[in-house]
Amino acid sequence: KNQVEQSPQSLIILEGKNCTLQCNYTVSPFSNLRWYKQDTGRGPVSLTIMTFSENTKSNGRYTATLDADTKQSSLHITASQLSDSASYICVVADRGSTLGRLYFGRGTQLTVWP
Amino acid sequence: EADIYQTPRYLVIGTGKKITLECSQTMGHDKMYWYQQDPGMELHLIHYSYGVNSTEKGDLSSESTVSRIRTEHFPLTLESARPSHTSQYLCASSELDEQYFGPGTRLTVT
């Protein structure tokens, strides 16, 4: 069964600290892995997209890693800011369908305190 | 920020009413999607479209219907709202591997 599991479910950190969010998936055949940021009451916004051949990708203070062998990904946030408080969703796309089916994790709810 | 819009943003309605959630995008994308999301849960695909006059049901069974008469417009309709339809509804469009989401409609059926 194709699944995406994220941990931790929630996380509280102090402003300025770093954190790492985890994503494990069983989706096959794999096409790409995305990390989205979803602010409360808003739609998700893409942070990074990684294909099979990419093992790291950065977008400002966000760095995503991918280990396609172990089917694991992480999102590292450096020097956190209050505006980083949001849900971070890991999404894996398969290449077994014309639609490019997406499998969503439940997200990690990050809270950054001053 | 993506040019994809949803209205209304919030809707509280009584059981049995017919409602239409609007979604529009100005990017000319052929593929559009409707997702349902409950708090703390993953997004579930309920409808998608490859282009004009193309609509398909997604993975999550839904009593809603959609239409795609114009490329930029993908409305979702509930003929008779029920409390079980209370949820957040997200519209999205895509080009290549990138999917762009609207801000969502928070629906509450009383």
- Name beta bridge partners: B91: B34
**By mean pLDDT, which of A1-5, A36-40, A105-109 is the weakest?**
A1-5
Residue B75 backbone dihedrals phi, psi, to 5 degrees: -80, 150
Q: Which residues of A touch B90 (CB under 8 A)?
A: 43-44
**By mean pLDDT, which of A38-47, A89-98, B93-102 is the weakest?**
A89-98
Q: Which residues of A touch B95 (CB under 8 A)?
A: none
- The owner of tokens 């089916």 is A101
- In this complex, the residue of A49, A102, A106 whose CB is nearest that of residue B41 is A106
**Residue A99: is its pLDDT beyond 70?**
no
Residue A99 exposed, middle or buried by CB count within 10 Å (0-12, 13-18, 19+) = middle
Cis peptide before A44 (omega within 30 of 0): no
The pLDDT tens digits along chain B (110 residues) read 568 999 999 999 999 999 999 999 999 999 999 999 998 899 999 999 999 999 999 887 778 999 999 999 999 999 999 999 999 999 999 988 788 999 999 999 99
- Look over chain A and give the mean of its residue pLDDT values, rounded to a whole number: 93
Residue A4 forms contact with B (CB below 8 Å): yes
At A4 the pLDDT is 96
